[in-house]
Structure 1
């Protein structure tokens, strides 16, 4: 049977660090953290306050979690990141990647110096987090081009439609495909088709903003989601993209068969019941562009 005197060495042997924190963010006690791969000695934290060590935004987040745990009296489990940018007094020359933790926070049934306290267990989950990010990227990415796939597009368009209906934030959708791809494949071989698709992907990456989504929708068809973009802005972007695609694809042209792109555009309307309505209008505009002789832009 374990005696009370055995508890201290047991707590000290814990691989993950365990903190007792007061409501005001004071480090009352620190135990464990013996896995030297991830943790440094934390005993120097005792008596200090989170707000004195961590920059305000992150410190406020920690204090909010302490308040939540004390109010609910239930176990809270939260994932969070910490980097050198979050800690006061550190230079910006530390590790570029943040460290990810899983925090388990539980209110305790006693007080210290007149303050309520919580138990906070911090586990380094950086390896797991990075693996999850990689798996998520694989599930959202087209294998040939590295662009997003239809699954990711549908997720993003759902969010953009909600932003449009709730806050009036406009989103435009471009659909385009490659003109005369089959004839070029028949002449140059299917490897030429893959090279054309890769060239399109590179053009998209160099043209789009970070907030935009570029998706290979299937075969040689691509869809671009442009949040916070009105009709005229979408047209200007489409003209610029069309010209860049014309220049990039020209090297694949064969005699009288030109490698070009046709583009259809639509912007979300109040009449749209979902993002699918906008997408269908852009698709109809694309087919109209193809029917009018290809190598052109049509706005729905």
Structure 2
């Protein structure tokens, strides 16, 4: 611990004022008893005007209640309480157009004080702006879940989504269908016209998925020329017309490329989650079996299992 006797009261006040991150003394009732620091103007506005005000005077009701709850948690724990939280312009009263154009993220380190302030239990709340690290975290997460060629979800993201929807189905019997399809004679396209043409065919297929599917549908590239579409709240009878429309539109788009000779089509297999399923893999297996039947029966078709 520092020997504060080495510093005068004026020096201690100057040290507190020089803190880059803002530090607030907040009472149990949500009153700003004091504000120190916040000198890093890249991330913080002047908060000196908050002293004496209550959270409810500064923040909207929901956000003010959240902050007051965190103060209560820290006081009850009697130890350091660390939280991450967003603050948007409409969370703060009276800032209007002067508020941040984007949501800012902060880490709050909330430490109960061993003495009362203004007759109340109180905490020291140090706020650190972590918006940059949150943006990087979101970017890395997006990159880890996105197929680099098509921009669709990748296999990892697909499996996570299938898991979530299967849990919903198992608990609430919420219908969901799965379509697996690939581009017919894709190896021949690569062999005859080159891998660049193959990539163009894959990208064109992904673009049709984005354009033609519903906002609630979830298209993903499984790998190679194979795609999966998860259709939530949709049984296979309802999904079949959607799959057929996708088949027709993809064939039209691939013909328009003009680099695939006679053009290309897709074959697909469709299945839905059923009461007997114990995992989403069973739905995928049925859809995959239906895909192979579509290939065997002449391609350029959707087979429903």
Contact 1:85 1:92 (8 Å CA) reproduced: no
Aligned to 2:170: 165
Choose the corresponding residue for 2:51, options 46, 49, 52.
46
Aligned to 1:118: 123
Structure 1 residue 124: deviation in Å?
0.6
Q: Where do residues 1-300 of structure 1 align in structure 2 (5 Å cutoff)?
A: 1-3=3-5, 5=9, 6-91=11-96, 95-252=100-257, 254=260, 257-300=262-305
Supply the distance in 1 between the matched residues of 2:57 and 2:64 (Cα, whole angstroms).
9
Supply the distance in 2 between the matched residues of 1:246 and 1:296 (Cα, whole angstroms).
11
**TM-score scaled by structure 1?**
0.91
Supply the distance in 1 between the matched residues of 2:173 and 2:69 (Cα, whole angstroms).
31
Supply the distance in 2 between the matched residues of 1:9 and 1:92 (Cα, whole angstroms).
32
Q: Tell me the SS of whatever aligns to 2:121.
A: strand
Supply the distance in 2 between the matched residues of 1:166 and 1:8 (Cα, whole angstroms).
58
Q: Tell me the SS of whatever aligns to 2:115.
A: strand
Which one is further off, 274-283 or 48-57?
48-57
Contact 1:184 1:193 (8 Å CA) reproduced: yes
**TM-score scaled by structure 2?**
0.90
Structure 1 residue 228: deviation in Å?
2.6
Supply the distance in 2 between the matched residues of 1:140 and 1:199 (Cα, whole angstroms).
20
Supply the distance in 1 between the matched residues of 2:283 and 2:48 (Cα, whole angstroms).
58
> Do the aligned partners of residues 101 and 237 (structure 1) sit closer, same or farther apart at CA in structure 2, a change above 3 Å counting?
same
Which one is further off, 280-289 or 208-217?
208-217
Structure 1 residue 92: deviation in Å?
6.1
Supply the distance in 2 between the matched residues of 1:141 and 1:192 (Cα, whole angstroms).
21
> Do the aligned partners of residues 124 and 112 (structure 1) sit closer, same or farther apart at CA in structure 2, a change above 3 Å counting?
same
Number of aligned residue pairs: 299
Supply the distance in 2 between the matched residues of 1:28 and 1:221 (Cα, whole angstroms).
61
Q: Tell me the SS of whatever aligns to 2:90.
A: coil
Contact 2:269 2:288 (8 Å CA) reproduced: yes
Which one is further off, 195-204 or 243-252?
243-252
Q: 5+ residue gaps in structure 2?
A: none
Structure 1 residue 94: deviation in Å?
5.2
> Do the aligned partners of residues 228 and 117 (structure 1) sit closer, same or farther apart at CA in structure 2, a change above 3 Å counting?
farther
Considering only aligned residues, what root-mean-square deviation do their CA atoms show, in Å? 2.1
Contact 1:54 1:88 (8 Å CA) reproduced: yes
